[in-house]
Amino acid sequence: MMKIIAVNAGSSSLKFQLLEMPQETVLTSGIVERIGIENSVIKIKMNGEKFEEKTPVKDHSVAVKLLLHKLVDLNIVSSIEDINGVGHRVVHGGEKFANSVEITEDVIQAIEEVSDLAPLHNPANLTGIRAFQEALPHIKGVAVFDTAFHQTMKEEEYLYGVPYDWYTKYSVRKYGFHGTSHRFVAERAAQLLNKPLEDTKIIVLHLGNGASICAVDGGKSVDTSMGFTPLAGILMGTRSGDIDPAIVEFIAKKENLDVSEVVNILNKQSGYLGISNNSSDSRDLWTAAHKGDKQSLLAVKKQVKMISDYVAAYFVTMGGCDAICFTAGVGENAIFTRQLIAKRLRPLGVHIDEERNFVRGVEKLISTDDSPIKLFLLPTNEEVMIARDTLRLSK
């Protein structure tokens, strides 16, 4: 048995989950918030109880030492030597990483080299990596990349119709994200279908505040909706998804803005929030829609339309589909959104069972027994995937 900690380091936060492997038992989870900011706090969940303490946390190095001290102090582990591996979520691996890897100085340098592709995330991920190396120098670290799963896409899928020099000089191409989630859900769906993963055609709908769709053929990503950045694809909580790029220049001139200001609006003031003028949360939109708010309903319908278009395209790309899987916050909980998506996809052979579908956050078949394409509600677990890869590479 091994104890492995799965880590997701943000610019001012450190999320973690400690798992007993290979049983995949969660021993504890939590977060250190407001790192380097006033009113820092550590929150830990264990055995159904919650521990919370406000304490100054100057940087990620202090956050990691605080976390490890609390794991011992709360008797979650007898000593830090009980921890056998650390798995780090890294948002962007560019074209350098098609799989999870053991962290070395060369790997760290490679992550730094592609950090301009994810300037808000990769530097923070690296800060977490270095902090754990300092605190646990004897423990092997593993980097698990959001983009790695999509490195199996073919050129015609990942290239854009722009000057080829943009790709060769600046690495402009589709990368895709949420790869760890898409991989977890596709593997679980194959188990539920009782088929070898290599014999399945699965479409995963990772629908959260950030959302992406992935066509998984034989266990490999063949296309995905997010692109060079997470802004592409379907409409999301505050992101626009796909638009005509000429809109950026048009609005910049009309509103007297520069390009970065327009892109910021597309990332933070669009999507659900932009269309509804109400909220970026689907729960708020459905509440308002049931009260007659047409803009809120329109925001949901626009997203449903975009999702359905992608699913139909991926059905053609793979030459069929065994299952469509709903996961993440919206996918797991938005009952009526799932209904609308299934209704639009009926011509493909999608038949939802409305009674089965009336559920939130549990693993369940929600299509009818005679539906040619199965519909699954499958809660994702990226931490388990990180722990699995860390276990595999730590042996």
How far, in Å, CA of 124 to CA of 133, rounded? 14
Is 346 annotated as belonging to a binding site? Answer: no
User: 67: exposed, middle or buried (C-beta count within 10 Å: 0-12, 13-18, 19+)?
Assistant: buried
Is 331 annotated as belonging to a binding site? Answer: yes
Is 241 annotated as belonging to a binding site? Answer: no
Is 333 annotated as belonging to a binding site? Answer: yes
Is 141 annotated as belonging to a binding site? Answer: no
How far, in Å, CA of 323 to CA of 383, rounded? 23
- Residue 277 in tokens: 């003028």
Sheet holding 201-207, edge to edge: 220-224, 211-217, 201-207, 323-327, 374-377, 364-365
Please name which of 66, 62, 111 lies closest in space to residue 89, comparing C-alpha atoms.
111
Is 382 annotated as belonging to a binding site? Answer: yes
Q: Are 331 and 234 in contact (CB under 8 A)?
A: no
How far, in Å, CA of 350 to CA of 375, rounded? 8
Is 332 annotated as belonging to a binding site? Answer: yes
Is 102 annotated as belonging to a binding site? Answer: no
Is 309 annotated as belonging to a binding site? Answer: no
Q: Are 326 and 212 in contact (CB under 8 A)?
A: no
One of 82, 146, 370, 389 is an active-site residue; which one?
146
Is 319 annotated as belonging to a binding site? Answer: no
**Residue 146 designated active-site:** yes
3-state DSSP call for residue 224?
A: strand
Q: Are 206 and 185 in contact (CB under 8 A)?
A: yes
Is 15 annotated as belonging to a binding site? Answer: yes
Is 210 annotated as belonging to a binding site? Answer: yes
Tell me the DSSP string of 15-67. Answer: EEEEEEETTTEEEEEEEEESTTSSS-EEEEEETTEEEEEE----SHHHHHHHH
Is 173 annotated as belonging to a binding site? Answer: no
Residues making up the annotated binding site are 8, 15, 89, 206-210, 281-283, 329-333, 382
Active site amino acids:
146
Residues making up the annotated binding site for Mg(2+) are 8, 382
Residues making up the annotated binding site for ATP are 15, 206-210, 281-283, 329-333
Residues making up the annotated binding site for substrate are 89
